């Protein structure tokens, strides 16, 4: 079946970071974008990324996986060098790499008294990584005269906040500012930049307490990675070419509800 022009990504190459988890937003996004005809490159910090790439290939998607960290200039530049060596020039970038909120193993969390080192690590992993990878890939998009960047933020920080989670909230709010600034800077080059802000999402990393919160949103359940991925996939299509600098909240109406059941 031939896809409508507004949805067709044939001939495009997408890079989705943070796509190692089989139940995560990154992998779901890679699958959704690949189903629209794009070649897909995925990254993760462990070798499980190769399993995800193989899963995509079994679906008929042209997929390649790279093990890469992105939280320093050195790491981001190393990935860019490997992409160049493989003649891969992504025109689509989904900045999904990062940690989830409080409760994620190893996630630095705390209030205003948290150690500076933990603050810096939280910001580096959740915000600076997106800036660094975008900086490495934006030249290729400019040269092509076409590009899509989608930053995966969160309702935490961008819309609301959880207790004792200042670094994560600040980083995810920063993703929104980065999105809007890039959207203004890159519009003339044919590049759109948007963000999605997921709420309670039922991935493999969701805690039991978070799943319980998901039952209290207006829709009455947590969202799925596929539902977030659907928003991301739409934002990178030709049909979304007049949408830039926006934040799409995917939270089942939680952020607009004045009362909880």
Catalytic residues: 168
Q: Which residue has the tokens 């992998």?
A: 27
Nearest CA-CA partner of 183 in 224, 222, 138, 143 = 138
Neighbouring CB atoms inside 10 A of 99's CB total: 20
CA 251/CA 210 separation, integer angstroms: 13
């Amino acid at each position: 079946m031939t896809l409508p022009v507004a949805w067709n990504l044939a001939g495009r190459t997408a890079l989705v970071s943070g796509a190692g988890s089989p139940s995560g937003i990154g992998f779901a996004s890679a699958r959704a974008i690949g189903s629209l005809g794009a070649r897909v490159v995925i990254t993760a910090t462990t070798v499980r990324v190769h399993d995800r790439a193989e899963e995509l290939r079994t679906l008929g998607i042209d997929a390649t996986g790279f093990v890469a960290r992105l939280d320093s200039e050195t790491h981001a530049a190393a990935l860019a060098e490997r992409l160049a060596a493989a003649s891969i020039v992504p025109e689509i970038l989904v900045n999904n790499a990062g940690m989830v909120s409080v409760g994620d193993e190893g996630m630095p969390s705390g209030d205003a008294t948290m150690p500076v080192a933990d603050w810096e690590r939280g910001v580096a992993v959740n915000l600076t990584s997106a800036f660094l990878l975008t900086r490495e890939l934006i030249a290729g998009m400019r040269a092509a005269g076409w590009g899509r960047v989608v930053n995966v933020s969160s309702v935490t920080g961008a819309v609301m906040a959880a207790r004792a989670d200042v670094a994560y909230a600040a980083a995810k709010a920063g993703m929104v500012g980065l999105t809007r600034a890039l959207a203004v800077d890159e519009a003339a080059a044919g590049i759109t930049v948007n963000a999605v802000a997921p709420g309670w999402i039922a991935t493999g990393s969701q805690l039991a307490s978070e799943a319980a919160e998901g039952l209290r949103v207006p829709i009455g359940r947590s969202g799925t990675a596929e539902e977030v991925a659907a928003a991301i996939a739409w934002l990178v299509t030709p049909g979304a070419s007049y949408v830039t600098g926006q934040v799409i909240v995917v939270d089942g109406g939680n952020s607009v509800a004045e009362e909880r059941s």
